[in-house]
């Protein structure tokens, strides 16, 4: 369960399952190089965001579900205003995180964030968590629904471009690790996601260098003794795993659950000048958990035919749509993130058993 936390660079603002081991599985990660748009200072849509269509991702401007007027902006209710980014430096804790372990549910050419209400318009995605996710998913349709996450209170939808070897779809096997952690130095300032928050991490149209320079980059594609790869390794040892980790922005503007480019309402923490401290920018002052995908696909031998539905390995990106039961998410965030613990999906830190667990043996809030 050990996770390595990296220092974020200071340059940002802002269908039936067919599991195979013919080469391995699926992945996640991508980048939007338009820093001004990430900062979300304006309401405009960046060229990079317009390109995120690997889906042919045009900005969403279509009435649907949660966006009745179709302008792409979904306001938070209530909005969170008057927040000043915390520059406090609490007692150092190497860990402040918990896991949400969620298995694959299905695959489909749908994307309820980028192409809401338009089934079949996206490239193929591999979905985890909520079992009902489709092109028409809304906050209400997801909330309280069935889930493959270990905690029944997590009905959130998680998805990424499907992985192929040739024409065969390769799926991750078993529960995938999704971390919720502090992205800011003041881990005690992190608060739960607002219900219905959604965003896209990365850009399927990004270049290899943009993927490498993306603030969410952790260690690239890995298998065997091959590390920090921008694209897929050429060969993976028999019986190994292809792994990828990608971090999401964790600072929120407090105003919108979504924006037309699906990114501008979120930003990565900045490194405070003259320090090593990560703080949220003034434009996005609300510290939320930093989601980190840690995907693992079965890998075996020649990887030359491996690709993502969105393209090369560096086109990796992923989507998150929050549908946690509020009390459960708050309990996990308060105990594990704010409490400075390294928790499993029950909210239990095996290195600090005296702190207890948040959830019972069935992963439910007592």
The pair of three-digit structure tokens given for residue 307, joined into one six-digit string: 């690709």
- What is residue 334's DSSP assignment? I
pLDDT (tens digit, 9 = 90+) per residue, 213-233?
999 999 999 999 999 999 999
In this predicted structure, what is the pLDDT of residue 270? 97
In the predicted model, is pLDDT for residue 52 greater than 90? no
User: Which residues, 6 or more positions from 323, have their beta carbon under 8 angstroms from its beta carbon?
Assistant: 130, 139, 142, 143, 144, 145, 154, 155, 156, 157, 195, 196
52-56, 66-70, 271-275: which range is least confident on average?
Answer: 52-56
Residue 1, class by beta-carbon neighbours within 10 Å (0-12 exposed, 13-18 middle, 19+ buried)?
middle
Residue 30 lies in a domain: no
- Side by side, the strands of the sheet bearing 226-229 are 226-229, 221-223, 235-247, 290-302, 176-181, 97-102, 342-343
The pair of three-digit structure tokens given for residue 208, joined into one six-digit string: 């290899």
Whether this model's pTM surpasses 0.75: yes
pLDDT (tens digit, 9 = 90+) per residue, 352-362?
999 999 999 99
| 96: containing domain | 35-61+71-355
Residue whose C-alpha is closest to residue 317's, from 69, 123, 99: 123
Residue 6 lies in a domain: no
Residue 51 is inside which H or E element, if any? helix 47-51
Euclidean distance between CA atoms 127 and 103, whole angstroms? 9
In this predicted structure, what is the pLDDT of residue 234? 95
Phi, psi of 141, rounded to the nearest 5 degrees? -70, -30
More confident of the two residues 25 and 352: 352
In this predicted structure, what is the pLDDT of residue 64? 77
Location of structure tokens 């340059």 = 11
The pair of three-digit structure tokens given for residue 8, joined into one six-digit string: 């974020």
More confident of the two residues 37 and 136: 136
In this predicted structure, what is the pLDDT of residue 61? 63
In the predicted model, is pLDDT for residue 160 greater than 80? yes
In the predicted model, is pLDDT for residue 9 greater than 70? no
Looking at every residue in the chain, the average pLDDT score rounds to 86
In this predicted structure, what is the pLDDT of residue 23? 29
Residue 133 lies in a domain: yes
Residue 360 lies in a domain: no
In this predicted structure, what is the pLDDT of residue 65? 82
Residue 22 lies in a domain: no
28-37, 173-182, 277-286: which range is least confident on average?
Answer: 28-37
Confidence of residue 63 (pLDDT cuts 50, 70, 90): confident
The pair of three-digit structure tokens given for residue 165, joined into one six-digit string: 């070897």
Residue whose C-alpha is closest to residue 161's, from 109, 215, 117: 109
Quickly count helices (H) and strands (E) in the chain: 5, 22
Residues listed for the chain = 366
How far is CA 349 from its chain centroid?
23
In this predicted structure, what is the pLDDT of residue 318? 98
Euclidean distance between CA atoms 307 and 136, whole angstroms? 27
Residue 21 lies in a domain: no
- Give the count of beta carbons closer than 10 Å to the beta carbon of residue 14: 26
Residue whose C-alpha is closest to residue 49's, from 258, 193, 262: 262
The pair of three-digit structure tokens given for residue 33, joined into one six-digit string: 């190089």
- Bridge partners, residue 100, by sequence: 178
pLDDT (tens digit, 9 = 90+) per residue, 318-329?
999 999 999 999
The pair of three-digit structure tokens given for residue 181, joined into one six-digit string: 């952690």
38-47, 75-84, 171-180, 333-342: which range is least confident on average?
Answer: 38-47
Total structural domains in the chain? Answer: 1
pLDDT (tens digit, 9 = 90+) per residue, 106-146?
999 999 999 999 999 999 999 999 999 999 999 999 999 99
Euclidean distance between CA atoms 33 and 246, whole angstroms? 16
How far is CA 243 from its chain centroid?
15
> How far lies 158's CA from each of 30, 144, 323, in Å?
15, 15, 10
pLDDT (tens digit, 9 = 90+) per residue, 253-276?
999 999 999 999 999 999 999 999
More confident of the two residues 353 and 37: 353
Confidence of residue 62 (pLDDT cuts 50, 70, 90): confident
Euclidean distance between CA atoms 188 and 210, whole angstroms? 32
Residue 152, class by beta-carbon neighbours within 10 Å (0-12 exposed, 13-18 middle, 19+ buried)?
middle
- Over residues 17-37, the mean pLDDT reads 30
In this predicted structure, what is the pLDDT of residue 60? 57
Residue 254 lies in a domain: yes
Residue 29 lies in a domain: no
């Amino acid at each position: 369960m050990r996770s390595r936390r990296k220092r974020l660079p200071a340059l940002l603002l802002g269908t039936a399952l067919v599991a195979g081991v013919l080469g391995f599985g699926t992945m996640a990660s991508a980048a939007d190089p338009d820093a001004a748009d990430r900062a979300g200072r304006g309401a405009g849509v960046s060229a990079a965001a317009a390109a995120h269509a690997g889906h042919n991702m045009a900005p969403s401007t279509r009435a649907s579900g949660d966006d009745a007027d179709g302008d792409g902006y979904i306001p938070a209710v209530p909005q969170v205003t008057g927040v000043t980014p915390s520059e406090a430096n609490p007692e150092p804790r190497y860990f402040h995180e918990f896991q949400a372990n969620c298995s694959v549910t299905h695959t489909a050419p749908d994307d309820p964030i980028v192409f809401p209400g338009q089934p079949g318009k996206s490239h193929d995605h591999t979905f985890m968590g909520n079992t009902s996710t489709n092109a028409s998913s809304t906050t209400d349709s997801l909330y309280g629904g069935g889930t493959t996450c270990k905690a029944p209170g997590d009905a959130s939808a998680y998805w990424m471009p499907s992985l192929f070897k040739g024409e065969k779809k390769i799926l991750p096997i078993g529960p995938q690790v999704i971390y919720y952690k502090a992205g800011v130095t003041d881990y005690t300032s992190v608060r739960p996601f607002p219900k219905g928050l959604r965003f896209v991490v990365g850009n399927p149209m990004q270049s290899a260098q943009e993927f490498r320079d993306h603030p969410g980059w952790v260690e690239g594609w890995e298998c065997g003794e091959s590390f920090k790869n921008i694209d897929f390794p050429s060969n993976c040892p028999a019986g190994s795993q292809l792994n990828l980790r990608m971090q999401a922005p964790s600072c929120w503007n407090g105003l919108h659950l979504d924006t037309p480019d699906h990114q501008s309402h979120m930003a990565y923490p900045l490194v405070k000048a003259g320090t090593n401290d990560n703080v949220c920018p003034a434009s996005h002052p609300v510290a939320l958990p930093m989601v980190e995908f840690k995907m693992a696909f079965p890998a075996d031998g020649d990887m030359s035919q491996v690709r993502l539905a969105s393209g090369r390995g560096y086109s990796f990106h992923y989507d998150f749509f929050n549908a946690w039961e509020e009390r459960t998410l708050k309990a996990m965030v308060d105990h594990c993130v704010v409490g400075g613990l390294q928790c499993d999906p029950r909210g239990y830190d095996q290195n600090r058993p005296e702190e207890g667990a948040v959830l019972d043996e069935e992963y439910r809030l007592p």
